[in-house]
Amino acid sequence: MARKPARTAASSNKPVQQSVAARKAQARRLKAKEHANKQRALRTAAFKKATPKPRGRAALESFSAQLRILAEGDSWFDFPLGGGLFSNGDVIAKLANLLDLPILNLAVRGEEVRDMLGVEQRARLEKHLSDPRLNFNVLLFSGGGNDIVGEHFVLWVKDRNSVQGDPRRAINDPVFEAMLDVIQAGYEQLIAIRDRIAAQTPGRSITIFLHAYDFARPTGKDVCGIGPWLKPSLEYRGWTDRAEANEVVRQALSRFRARLAMLARPDVILVPTQGTLADNEWNDELHPSERGFKKIAEVFYDAMQAKFPDQLPVRS
């Protein structure tokens, strides 16, 4: 009878080590979720304080004519990483300054569309949109970037040698299109939620503003020890030339934008953010610098002003 191979100390400890790592990862996720919920609660309280309930008919009519803005999203709406709760480094903070209006910002850095449209956050979003005291008529949404970038970016990219070094053919179409299907489904459900809630009040409209980021630069630069999100995958696939790597990223983000463009209609507006930033207006691989965020916010403002010319002046 053959002997069973003896278990070494290392092999017997491996499941225990994996279990400990899994528990630590779960603890980190729970801590991050707790922090995110605390952020949202504080922001909601601050927004309500800045938006007192109108009293009297004249005040109610004035309130009804105002833009009341809700934002949900990722780090483009919640930046810098490790910054203050009410920091002024992201699109929403810059846009609120341009509008001179409060914005209830529910965005939390690092989230994917699948997170934002999951059960818990979906219910929160529905609650805010349905609240007659707040009566939001604008929804700003930023999502999809975290679904695409990161360690899994390598899944969407072909080996350089397999496409003879042509970055225009670098995207692994079947796999990437499947991910875009998931992202698009999230957006479609977001629009359906908006449609259902708006229909509950005769004459109510809620305009959604979307964006497709800008063409990120795979420089390998991280932020606060998080990242990089693009360069490791590109180098693994052999895309080490900077110009070629930039074009691979451009191809991926152009396809993402094309999916969002399919959803556009008069009350779903795709803000034209791609092509806005110069090379020196990026903080890291994925996020604009403070100056860059201001430029993106200006593009948002212009899109909103075109939609609401009676409420917003043309930016000087």
Reported pTM: 0.88
Domains of the chain: 81-307 (3.40.50.1110)
Contact 122, 128 (CB under 8 A): no
State how far the Cα of 260 lies from the Cα of 270, in Å rounded to an integer.
Answer: 7
| Residue linked to tokens 């403070």 | 290
Per-residue confidence in pLDDT tens, the chain, 316 aa? 455 555 555 555 666 666 776 776 677 777 777 878 888 888 888 888 887 665 555 444 555 568 999 999 999 999 975 444 445 689 999 999 999 999 999 999 999 999 999 999 999 999 999 998 899 999 999 999 999 999 999 999 999 999 999 999 999 999 999 999 999 999 999 999 999 999 998 989 999 999 999 999 999 999 888 999 999 999 999 999 999 999 999 999 999 999 999 999 999 999 999 999 999 999 999 999 999 999 999 999 999 999 999 999 999 8
What backbone phi and psi angles, to 5 degrees, belong to 223?
-140, 125
| Residue linked to tokens 């002046």 | 313
Contact 157, 234 (CB under 8 A): yes
